[in-house]
């Protein structure tokens, strides 16, 4: 496992961004309707390793943005459905809607990744920095411009008994606990 970690940390450029986007897309598989929450425990540590290799906040932003674009591009697949009512008229807009929405929503991942990198340390501190910043960004995404809380980390638990913890901690508290446990 140490060899895989070292390989991920050493990635640069397009390979790093591609891996981040694939990891984000995998994280979307944890969301309903597929509901595979175990994916969190496979993909999130690799994202943390990518962050370990980031040289600074700019590189961390790009990792978060790429992961967010992959995540929202996969999780928001349904956004193209209205364009298919009259596909000969509106179908051409569907890819632009999906790509634009995914890229815009991914900003809510890029910013916390960059902020977390400012406080990056060793061991558990880096996990707490990323999990805390990410949770605050998800809270902001749920409220800014009337909010769009689609695909929150906690939603991975919707079809499991773990979701009952949201009754006590709310979706953002459960998301924070999930991130801390999985990172």
pLDDT tens for each residue of 146-163: 899 999 999 999 999 999
Condensed to tens digits (0 to 9), the pLDDT of residues 72-117 reads 999 999 999 999 999 999 999 999 999 999 999 999 999 999 999 9
Residue-level pLDDT at 124 = 92
| Total H helices, total E strands in the chain | 8, 0
Torsion of CA 132, 135, 140, 141, to 10 degrees: 140
| Mean of per-residue pLDDT scores for the chain | 95
Q: Is the pTM of this model over 0.75?
A: yes
HSE-up of 115 (CA within 13 Å, CB side)?
A: 16
**CA angle, residues 118, 120, 126, in degrees to nearest 5:** 135
Task: Give the Cα separation of 178 and 53 in Å (integer).
Answer: 23
The DSSP call for residue 1 is -
């Amino acid at each position: 496992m140490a060899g895989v970690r070292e390989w991920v940390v050493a990635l640069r450029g397009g390979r790093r961004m591609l891996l981040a986007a694939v990891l984000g897309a995998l994280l979307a598989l944890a969301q309903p309707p597929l509901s595979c929450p175990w994916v969190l425990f496979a993909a999130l540590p690799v994202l943390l390793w990518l962050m370990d290799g980031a040289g600074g906040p700019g590189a961390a932003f790009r990792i978060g943005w790429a992961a967010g674009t992959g995540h929202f591009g996969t999780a928001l697949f349904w956004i193209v459905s209205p364009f298919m009512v009259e596909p000969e008229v509106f179908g051409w807009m569907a890819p632009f809607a999906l790509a634009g929405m995914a890229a815009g929503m991914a900003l809510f991942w890029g910013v916390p990744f960059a902020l977390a990198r400012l406080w990056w340390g060793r061991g558990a501190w880096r996990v707490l920095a990323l999990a805390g910043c990410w949770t605050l960004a998800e809270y902001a995404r749920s409220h800014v411009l009337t909010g769009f809380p689609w695909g929150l980390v906690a939603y991975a638990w919707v079809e499991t008994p773990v979701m009952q913890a949201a009754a006590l901690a709310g979706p953002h508290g459960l998301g924070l606990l999930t991130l801390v446990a999985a990172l």
